[in-house]
Each structure stands twice: as C-alpha cells, then as structure tokens.
Amino acid sequence: MDGAERTLLSLATSLRENEYTCVVICPDDGPLVRELTKRSVPVKIKLLPRLQRNPFHLIRFVLLWPFVVLYLAIWIWRNDIDLVVNNTVDGLYGPFAAKLARVPCLWHIHEIKPGYTLARKFFSWLFRAFSQNTVFNSKATMMAYSSKLLASWHVIYNGIDVPETKNSKAVKRNHIVIGFAGQLVKIKRPDRFISAIAAAKKQVHNLKAVVAGEGELYEQVNALIKKLSLNDTIVMLGYVECMPEFYNQIDVFVLTSDTEAFGRVLIEAMAAECPIVAAKVDGVPEVVDESCGYLVSPNDIEAYADKIIQLSKDESLRHRLGSAGRKRAIELFSERQFLEQMIVLIGSFSGR
C-alpha cells in the first residue's frame, strides 16, 4: 500500500471505532481491501477507470466517466450517505457523484501534480466547486494548487502509530545498512539511490543497502544494480508487509524523490530512530529538519553520497539524529493527532 492508502486505512478504522457507519469504495482488490476486511470495515469493489496519459486509457476514462458518476450518485442516494470522503486528487468520481446526489464532499489531497500549472489550476477550481472542505497533507501541497488560502482548505499532517516503547535496533553487525522504501516509479527516482550507494561504497567498504517496494521500474533498477556491480551490496526486497521490521534493520533512511507532497515513509523511519537523508522537495522540509537529518538538492548524487558516508562513519551522529527524529515524529506526526483533527472535521458535517 502507498501512503495515501495507509492513511485511508487508519481513518476508516478510526471512524468505525467511533461508531460512524463507513463504507470504502475501492477500484480493485488488493492489500488495502484485505486490510480493511481484517478490521471489519465494509468494502465495495467497483472497477473505476483511472485517469492516465495513455491515449487508450484516457479515451476509455472519458467515455465511461459519466456512467460511473451516475452509478455512484444513485448508490450514494439509495444508501443514505451523509458525507463522501474522496481520498486522492485523481479521484474524479466521488466529488461529482456527491454533487449530483446533493451530499457534501470532503476531498483529501495527498499528491502534487508535478509541473503542470494548468492542471493544478484546474484541480484548484475543482476543490472549490465540488468539495465543502479540502484537506491537504502539507502546506506545500496546499500552496502547489493555490496561493490564496480559503477557509475551507485545511492542512492536516498524516500521522502514524508510534509505539510508546521503541524497538531496539537489530543486533550489532559488521556493516552499515542504508534503506530505501517506496514505489519503484519515475517520480521516486530509485536510480538516484542506487547511484548514491555506488558512490558511497567507494569510501565505506562495509556498506549494504536494501530496497523495499515494487513498481514499473523494478527490472530497470535491478539492471542498474548489475551494471554498477552492486549485486553483493544491494538487496531488492519487493513488497514488504512488515515495515517496522524493515526500519529496524537499517541504519540510515534515504529518500530521493523528484516530488513528495509529504513523505509518510519519512515519519515511519524517524519513529524507528533512523537518521534521514532526503531530497529537499515540496513537503519534505516540513517533515525533516536539521535536528533529525539532512536535506539535499534532489539531483545531487554526490550530496546524497557524502551524507551517507558521514552517517556511516559516525555512530554517535546516527544516534543523535535518530533520537531527535523519533521525538519529532511523536510530537508532530502521531496518528492520534491526525485522527482527532480529521474526525472533528468529519463530525462537523453531522453535528457531532
């Protein structure tokens, strides 16, 4: 599951526990559906064509969109739905269906459209026209869509469940482990991570790295690892079910994205006392500051490598930044804070 899906899982579970009747409509089966089912949250699977650049998929989306919106509007009306919570910027069905069914909509935005000024302006108009409240996961995400702050726009940081007692790091090893976690897609730039490890390895001979995630670039990343002769250094883990265990096995966490609206993996790594090396993009500086890690220019492979080398050679520095990161995660990005703010906002629609 990506960050938006895990945030939705947390919110839906909390709504059920707070005696709201909550039904989650998912476009397909997958890890999110399985986790929701485990937590007794009702799920309805409806095949929803997704908005994509591919001409065939775009035409299919345009042709089917009005029928899907009508179907959802009728379903909302028949099931006496009081509020529609739309969980992604590309979810162009829920807000329109809610409008047609005359039901309020809360639009939760987790993404920044990379570089498309017209698209951002279009979505900004949609937020104003089709949702009574819009929630953004960072100030950077909100500002990407408009410099004019509206009373109905809110910044609520994503949160995670930080255990009160921290897990002790894995037993002492003879090597330093650097971690990367995320979808292996273009905007996450896993190639930068591989190149940074190759550069750092020249000075830190006991360096190892692990990559958690799947995606369309999986084979390309594998090919780059082989090309740089890093087969014995980097392990591709694929989809990792237990992320706390992953973070417990690494010494430093690295994020190399082109764009990152928030970066849920950052607060997960911070909660596990992993010092951070991250691209200084979008919402990342709201999450990571100098107390818990380093921010570097996203294209600067040498800068990533230098910080990895510095942290690899200095155990006390890793400990200091890691401890500060956990403290920051608890104070600013707890799941309790996120859920309290979201449920107050949702409750305002029902008068709770």
Element (H, E) at 26: strand 24-26
Band of residue 166 on the pLDDT scale cut at 50, 70, 90:
low
Domain 176-332 in CATH: superfamily?
Answer: Glycogen Phosphorylase B; (3.40.50.2000)
Residues of the chain with CATH 3.40.50.2000: 3-159+334-350, 176-332
Mean pLDDT over 186-211 rounds to 96
Cα 292 from Cα 317, distance rounded (Å): 10
Residue from 321, 255, 248, 244 nearest 290 by CA = 321
pLDDT of residue 255: 98
Decide: residue 115, CB within 10 A, 0-12 exposed, 13-18 middle, 19+ buried. Answer: exposed
User: How confident is the model over 306-327, as pLDDT tens digits?
Assistant: 999 999 999 999 999 999 999 9
Cα 248 from Cα 66, distance rounded (Å): 47
Please indicate, yes or no, whether the overall pTM of this predicted structure exceeds 0.85.
yes
Q: In this model, does residue 352 exceed pLDDT 90?
A: no
Give the position of tokens 């910027």.
89
pLDDT of residue 54: 74
pLDDT of residue 4: 87
Fold of the 3-159+334-350 domain:
Rossmann fold (3.40.50)
Q: Residue 344: count other Cβ atoms within 10 Å of its Cβ.
A: 11
pLDDT of residue 171: 56
| 49 vs 272 pLDDT, higher one | 272
Whether 28 contacts 47, CB under 8 Å: yes
Residue from 218, 214, 299 nearest 259 by CA = 299
pLDDT of residue 117: 78
pLDDT of residue 295: 98
